[in-house]
Amino acid sequence: MPGSVELFMFFMLLQMLLSVLVVGFFHCLVNYQHIPGKPIRDELGDIGNLTKDRIEEILKDFLEDFRQGQLEAKGWLGNISAYKMSKAALIAYTSFLAKEIPSVLVNSICPGFVKTDINGNNGVLSAQEGAESPVYLALLPETGPSGLLFSKKEVCSF
């Protein structure tokens, strides 16, 4: 089964054939502001200079620091750090793809705290309520915004 990066790259290929909309999912509590290390935060947030290779290098650095037990010392995210970094990387890929393929709408969404099996159905939104925001993005017109993060149906900051 392909990972998120492979799926994003697949959409790049589809772009040549038809108009495509890409909607990625992230957790509302994961954004660049929560990364303690300023150099890491600044680099991921430098959308103008961010490349696919650099995102991958940052993730490799994270994995090496994880193996070495150096996450906190090196300024990475703390609790459930691998999950949070995977979501931060998806946010970075959203920005990268939107910049690389301006003819494709690429946005990320946090649908809210939805009741699911993974959280023991402790969320506050039903599945139907949680689906409203991703469907909203999926139905944007071709001239809609791209490269943005949405929390529910509102644009939020990286």
Catalytic residue numbers read 83
H or E element in which residue 132 lies? helix 127-138
**Rounded Cα gap, residues 150 and 29, in angstroms:** 12
CA distances from 61 to 3, 44, 117 (A): 19, 13, 32
* Cβ neighbours of residue 153 closer than 8 Å, sequence gap 6 or more: 132, 133, 136
CA angle centred on 104, ends 98 and 110, rounded to 5°? 60
**Of the candidates 40, 117, 116, the residue with the CA atom closest to the CA atom of residue 78:** 40
